[in-house]
Amino acid sequence: MVNEKYKPLLEPFELPNGVQLKNRVIMAPMTNYSSNSDGTVSDDEVNYYIHRSKGVSMVITACTYVTPNGQGFPGEFAGHTDEMIPSLRRLATAIKDEGSKAILQIFHGGRQVPADIAPNGDVVSASPIAYPAEGKPVPRELTEAEVEDIIVDFGQTTRRAIEAGYDGVEIHGANTYLIQQFFSPHSNRRTDRFGGSLEKRLTFPLAVVDEVQRIVKEHATTSFIVGYRFSPEEPETPGITMSDTLVLIDELSNKNLEYLHVSLMDFWSTPKRGIEDTRSRIEIIQEAVGDRVPVIGVGSIYTAADAGNALASGIPLIGLGRGLLIDPDWVQKIEQGREEEIVTKLDLDKQQELVMPTPLWNRIINNPGWVPGV
């Protein structure tokens, strides 16, 4: 029997386009480094998703690149050509067969693409400014025509997602990648129509949204989900501040999206700068968005109580990343009133049982502190 306290987590939710989610728990997108070398999804990767798609209402996949110079990780699956549609379909089908909505996260890594992955080592971004970390390359500034091509590429990968049977796409505008690089005053120093002022730095992210929605209108039924993920702040100066983000989300909230997804490592983190407000970022964002579009909050939610408290803050949908790596049966345990049995630290003896592909497992093991228990 479900514990009364946690019933709200299991309540259905209707997205603005009428799609019903069976509960409030979403699998956050997580790169797993495990695709085949030809860019197709691997058996291990598909099995990993099958084991995590039963309880949650919506699975947002690892990011997929929309064009070759957007691939950000080794073993990232490809979404940039029609030849990849069967591979994309295999993943969508596996997720949907377990009873969850399947959302494809669409992505370009920009200046975060490792030079040894970028075709001919040609790392590109809004402007020739390296990411502020040791050893990062100075990217080549994209021409206006190339920027326009990438906008089209996001649309084309959306078309492939539709043809492959996904329930939606998530535009990856977070975590320092290309879309965020265009919005950021650190990485975008352009003086053409894609940069120069806050409004102009919004041009690329909003053009991607428009193109994706145009393709959806042309190719999908009205129930196709389009979400947008963003990171609210950057540590650098210049860099995205909370007040910049309030402008971004005001624009996004008027775009008829199905959800906005805030990327945070700690659900309750507070703003660094740009705003006089001591509340958590997620609460400030939820207030600014109002009831225009549902918000997904995420970050260090491991126990049922963590999720219950997050939901009680007024955020309608809760994302789980690492929690589902550690315990694939997270939601089922709440459904069965066994929430005390949810595992919150990775058991280092259970790679097989947890159905974790080896490249993902090794990344985690080699980065102590990333996942609890390691």
Of residues 102-131, those binding ligand FMN (CB under 6 A): 105
**Segment contacting ligand FMN by CB under 6 A, of 120-128, 200-208, 245-253, 297-305:** 297-305
175, 188, 203, 286: which one binds ligand FMN (CB under 6 A): 175
Judged by CB under 6 A, does residue 323 bind ligand FMN? yes
Judged by CB under 6 A, does residue 25 bind ligand FMN? no
Residue closer to ligand FMN by CB (options 190, 226) is 226
Please identify which residue in the block is written with the tokens 């997205």: 15
Contacts of 19 (CB under 8 A, 6+ apart): 101, 167, 223, 225, 258
Of residues 330-369, those binding ligand FMN (CB under 6 A): none
Contacts of 62 (CB under 8 A, 6+ apart): 29, 30, 31, 32, 76, 77, 105
Judged by CB under 6 A, does residue 158 bind ligand FMN? no
| Number of shown-chain residues binding ligand FMN (CB under 6 A) | 21
Judged by CB under 6 A, does residue 305 bind ligand FMN? no
CB of 206 to ligand FMN, least distance (A): 19
Judged by CB under 6 A, does residue 172 bind ligand FMN? yes
Judged by CB under 6 A, does residue 326 bind ligand FMN? no
Taking phi first (over 0 means left), then psi (-120 to 50 degrees means alpha), and beta for anything else, what does residue 260 get?
Answer: beta
Residue 125 bridge partners (DSSP): 141
DSSP SS3 for 297: strand
Residue 310: other Cβ atoms inside 10 A: 23
Judged by CB under 6 A, does residue 80 bind ligand FMN? no
24, 101, 159, 229: which one binds ligand FMN (CB under 6 A): 229
| CB-CB contact of 131 with 109 (8 Å) | no
| CB-CB contact of 166 with 104 (8 Å) | yes
**Segment contacting ligand FMN by CB under 6 A, of 15-23, 220-228, 274-282, 317-325:** 317-325
Sign of CA dihedral 87, 92, 93, 94: positive
CB of 302 to ligand FMN, least distance (A): 8
| CB-CB contact of 128 with 83 (8 Å) | no
Of residues 254-273, those binding ligand FMN (CB under 6 A): 263, 265
Helix (H) or strand (E) holding 228: strand 225-230
Of residues 38-77, those binding ligand FMN (CB under 6 A): 62-63
Report how far residue 21's alpha carbon sits from residue 57's, in angstroms, rounded to the nearest whole number.
5
Residue closer to ligand FMN by CB (options 308, 323) is 323
226, 298, 315, 342: which one binds ligand FMN (CB under 6 A): 298
| Binding residues for ligand FMN (CB under 6 A) | 28-31, 62-63, 105, 172, 174-175, 229, 263, 265, 298-301, 320-323
